[in-house]
């Protein structure tokens, strides 16, 4: 089970909904969050940090601690490569030792931080490598770093990162344990000798959240959601007891739903976590507060996009905050038309994750490299253009019980075939009660 080998997995299109449970667990989550603030001891979570791990690790306990500890900002390329080797050595030892590793992890907060930092460094390195490839076409100032990257093509390779996550999940048998819990059965018989250890159990659990994130960064939103098949999306879930994991999970779940045009599901995911964050804001402090505040703004931008596509009633807290942050932009997007296109693109760029390519860039032919973010922006904007006139059509449908399609086309100054395509797009995103107001049978 080498951590550098490619994983085997299947794709699928899940149908998931958010279990919007009551507030019974709210106080317990708040208490856990207080504990996390104390646990961090000044090293607050930074959801957008730009640091890397590295250095000589003397023993396993030191490796466990350092795996979740980022170093200073602006680490050199050599440090980033050494960081990858350190992670490989650590996970290789955990996965391939003769039997379970007999050591306790610092806390289950640590398990999340280790997986989070591992994926963060992977994402950061891929973005850095892609940016360096683009610069090759305009300057030769980074030839030394490019030469190093050519010599290390497998460093932070996508398949190696995925294999680590899948291997931790398989070794811990965490999916079998979660499935047993969903059936109200005792998960112990399904844990095995590895999954019964907290180190493997927690690393396997948070690796599932890590897979959600990685598949979303790669643009496979259906597979990203499918990875959570065995995790209940509610306040009782283990990830909900770690603030950064809770926020990260709902961000990527909501974003994946949005990219799959399931705007109602996306809004439920975003609303769930935004309400929770608003109730725990009194515990947030320092760099942690600044980071969460920034991510909050990004998520509200995504909420504005979803509401423009799928008008619906929001929680009063979210509605008020949305109007304060993006009121003018939301109004312009809801009007539709060509004038709304720049607003959609601006909000999407500011709120989307930092997408990555599954393969290393071609340094010899930098002009053929595809920018993953630009690719996703193009896909998103195509959907926006298809829905550009939906608000106008919807406004007419609210005024009439029945209308001839040709007459409505005349009001909109388009031909009947064009209007029919607009209605089909609107029908795919809105409640069908609006669409049945138009009598298609009158058009011959």
Task: Say how many C-beta atoms besides its own lie within 10 A of residue 268's C-beta.
Answer: 21
Could you tell me which residue, 235 or 25, shows the higher pLDDT? 235
- Three-state SS letters, the chain: CCCCCCCCCCCCCCCCCCCCCCCCCHHHHHHHHHHHHHHHCCCCCCCCCCECCCCCCCCHHHHHHHHCCCCCECCCHHHHHHHHHHHHHHHHHHHHCCCCCCCCCCCHHHHHHHHHHHHHHHHHHHHHHHHHHHHHCCCCCCHHHHHHHHHCCCCCCHHHHHHHHHHHHHHHCHHHHHHHHHCCCCCHHHHHHHHCCHHHHHHHHHHHHHHHHHHHHCCCHHHHHHCCCCCCCCCCCHHHHCHHHHHHHHHHHHHHHHHCCCHHHHHHHHHHHHHHHHHCHHHCCHHHHHHHHHHHHHHHHHHHHHHHHCCCCCCHHHHHHHHHHHHHHHHHHHHCCHHHHHHHHHHHHHHCCCCCCCCCCCCCCHHHCCCHHHHHHHHHHHHHHHCCCHHHHHHHHCCCCCEEHHHHHHHHCCCHHHHHHHHHHHHHHCCHHHHCCEEHHHCC
Reply yes or no on whether the pLDDT at 335 is more than 90.
no
**Range from 47-56, 79-88, 276-285, 398-407 that averages highest in pLDDT:** 79-88
Reply yes or no on whether the pLDDT at 12 is more than 60.
no
Gap between the Cα atoms of 310 and 321, Å rounded: 18
Which pLDDT band holds residue 62 (cuts at 50, 70, 90)? Answer: confident
Which residue is it, tokens 């390779």?
A: 157
Which residue is it, tokens 């725990």?
A: 280
Give the closest residue to 49 by CA, choosing from 84, 30, 75. 75
248-264: pLDDT as tens digits? 999 999 999 999 999 99
Res 52: pLDDT: 40
What is the mean pLDDT of the segment spanning 387-402?
A: 73
Structure tokens that stand for 170 in this block: 């398989």
175-221: pLDDT as tens digits? 999 999 888 899 888 988 998 999 999 999 999 999 999 999 999 99
Mean predicted lDDT score pLDDT of the chain: 80
Res 440: pLDDT: 42
Reply yes or no on whether the pLDDT at 58 is more than 90.
no
Give the rounded percent of residues in the chain with a pLDDT score beyond 90: 36
Give the rounded percent of residues in the chain with a pLDDT score beyond 70: 78
Angle at 308 between CA 304 and CA 311, to 5 degrees: 105
Gap between the Cα atoms of 415 and 407, Å rounded: 10
Res 38: pLDDT: 47
Structure tokens that stand for 60 in this block: 């396993």
Sequence-separated contacts (24+) of 188-193 with Cβ below 8 Å:
193/99, 193/100
Which pLDDT band holds residue 381 (cuts at 50, 70, 90)? Answer: very high
Lowest mean pLDDT segment, chosen from 259-263, 265-269, 288-292: 288-292
What b/e sequence results for 168-204 when a residue is b if at least 16 CB atoms lie within 10 Å of its CB, and e otherwise? Answer: bbbbbbbbbbbebeeeeeebeebbbebbbbebbbbbb
120-175: pLDDT as tens digits? 999 999 999 988 888 765 666 578 888 888 888 889 999 999 999 999 999 999 99
Give the closest residue to 349 by CA, choosing from 307, 380, 308. 380
Res 122: pLDDT: 95
What is the mean pLDDT of the segment spanning 300-317?
A: 92
What is the mean pLDDT of the segment spanning 72-93?
A: 88
């Amino acid at each position: 089970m080498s951590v550098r080998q490619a994983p085997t997995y299947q794709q699928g299109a899940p149908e998931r909904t958010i279990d919007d449970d009551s507030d019974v667990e709210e106080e317990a989550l708040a208490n856990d969050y207080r504990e996390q603030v104390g646990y961090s001891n000044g090293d607050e979570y930074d959801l957008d940090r730009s640091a890397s791990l590295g250095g000589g690790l003397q023993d396993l306990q030191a490796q466990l601690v350092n795996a979740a500890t980022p170093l200073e900002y602006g680490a050199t390329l050599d440090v980033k490569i050494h960081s990858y080797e350190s992670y490989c050595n650590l996970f290789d030892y955990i996965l391939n030792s003769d039997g379970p590793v007999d050591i306790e992890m610092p806390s289950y907060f640590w398990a999340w931080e280790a997986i989070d930092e591992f994926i963060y460094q992977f994402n950061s390195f891929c973005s850095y490598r892609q940016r360096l490839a683009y610069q090759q076409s305009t300057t030769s100032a980074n030839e030394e770093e490019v030469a190093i990257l050519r010599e290390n093509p497998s460093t932070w390779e996508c398949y190696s990162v995925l294999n680590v996550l899948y291997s931790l999940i398989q070794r811990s048998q965490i999916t079998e344990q979660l499935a047993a819990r969903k059936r109200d059965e005792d998960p112990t018989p399904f844990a095995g000798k590895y999954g019964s250890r907290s180190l493997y159990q927690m690393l396997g659990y948070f690796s599932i959240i890590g897979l959600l994130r990685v598949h979303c960064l790669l643009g496979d939103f259906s597979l990203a959601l499918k990875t959570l098949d065995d995790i209940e999306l509610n306040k009782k879930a283990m990830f909900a007891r770690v603030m950064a994991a809770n926020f990260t999970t709902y961000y990527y779940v909501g974003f994946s739903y949005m990219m799959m045009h399931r705007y109602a599901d996306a809004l439920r995911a975003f609303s769930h976590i935004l309400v929770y964050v608003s109730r725990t804001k009194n515990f947030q402090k320092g760099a942690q507060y600044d980071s969460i505040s920034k991510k909050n703004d990004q998520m509200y931008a995504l909420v504005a996009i979803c509401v423009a596509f799928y008008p619906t009633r929001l929680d009063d807290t979210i509605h008020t905050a949305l109007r304060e942050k993006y009121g003018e932009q939301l109004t312009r997007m809801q009007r539709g038309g060509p004038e709304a296109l720049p607003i959609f693109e601006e909000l999407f760029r500011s709120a989307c994750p930092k997408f990555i390519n599954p393969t290393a860039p071609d340094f010899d032919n930098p002009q053929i490299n595809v920018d993953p973010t630009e690719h996703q922006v193009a896909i998103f904007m195509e959907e926006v253009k298809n829905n550009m006139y939906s608000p106008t059509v919807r406004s007419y449908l609210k005024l009439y019980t029945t209308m001839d399609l040709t007459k409505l086309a005349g009001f909109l100054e388009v031909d009947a075939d064009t209007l029919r395509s607009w209605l089909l797009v609107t029908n795919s995103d809105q409640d069908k009660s609006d669409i049945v107001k138009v009598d298609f049978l009158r058009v011959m």
